[in-house]
Amino acid sequence: MNTYRYQISLQCYQKIYSFYHHVALKYRHTYSEKLMHKNIDDAIDSMYQIERTLLRRKPTRPDWMGLNMANTGKWYFAYIIEDDVISIVDACHAQNMH
């Protein structure tokens, strides 16, 4: 089994945080800050499963062509593999996949 090092772009972190922050604003009476942080942590943790339990797929977004794609069910990630480094360059929530 290959051992990979992961590099996650700032854009990925920002998209995940932004998505759940907007959910918290929209559902402020029912979506707790604790749950928001748990969802953010779960999304970030799931990126470390790319090429382990999250299998490589052909991208469905035109702007991701030429990259690899993996999905967790809730999140889709675009990434590049160079030697033993997986560089995750973009993230998109399933609700925003077009």
Please give the DSSP secondary-structure letter assigned to residue 28.
T
2 SS3 class: coil
Give me the amino acid identity at 60: T
Digit-coded pLDDT (tens) for 59-78: 999 999 999 999 998 999 99
Q: Which residue has the tokens 């089994």?
A: 1
Identify the architecture of domain 5-96 in CATH: 2-Layer Sandwich (3.30)
With 70 as the cut, is the pLDDT of residue 1 above it?
no
Q: What is 31-55 written as a DSSP string? A: S-HHHHHHHHHHHHHHHTTBTTTB-
Q: Where are the domains of the chain?
A: 5-96
Q: Which residues contact 43 (CB under 8 A, 6 or more apart)?
A: 16, 20, 72, 74, 75, 91
Digit-coded pLDDT (tens) for 39-60: 999 999 999 999 999 999 999 9
